[in-house]
Amino acid sequence: MEQSGFSNDKFINPIAILDSLKLKDDFIACDLGCGSGGWAIPLSKILTNGLVYAVDILEESISALRGKIARENIFNVKPVLSDIEKGVKIQDKEIDIALLTNILFQIEDKESLIKECRRILKSRGLLLIIDWKKDAPLGPAAGRLSADEILPLLDRLGFREEKRFDAGEYHWALLLSK
């Protein structure tokens, strides 16, 4: 397990974090709970020969994302309206890297979501999880858990920790491999 940090930034810096992962430009990615594209858009600029599935349950978020990708002439983001807790319309073993950023604290059935990530990830695929630190003075209070609390579930479901780091002052991050 490698330790590194982004502790100079108070808030999450998606570009710095994604750049640090050294992703191949032809990766196929899936941003689960993408919102309006805070991770999907920077990811699309790194994966210039790849594809980013941007999945969210809210039509408003998907609509905002569609507007942003149209304005920025981004052609490698595919918005998907779907409830990630019930499964996504992505083929088995299609994804090189899946992202769960600022979403895990909201998920009731974490095991089902992690199993869904496992299903869509290729062999040796990567899973990036970023979520609120339990003691962060900002953000939602309910549903938070530490990286150490989620690791037993991830381990049981076949994920191996590759890297752990602070994603700004208020968030922790885990990079795992399948």
How far from 21 is each of 35, 43, 46, 174, CA to CA, in Å? Answer: 22, 11, 11, 11
Model confidence pLDDT, tens digit, residues 108-143: 999 999 999 999 999 999 999 999 999 999 989 899
Residues 119, 76 within the same domain: no
Query: What letter does residue 23 receive in the DSSP assignment?
Result: -
Domain that holds residue 169: 91-95+109-138+147-178
Domain count across the chain: 2
State the CATH number of the domain containing residue 119.
Answer: 3.40.50.150
Residue 50: CA atoms inside 13 Å, Cβ hemisphere, count? 22
Domain membership flag for residue 158: yes
Degrees (nearest 5) of the Cα angle 110, 9, 176? 35
Whether 165 shows a pLDDT value over 90: the answer reads yes
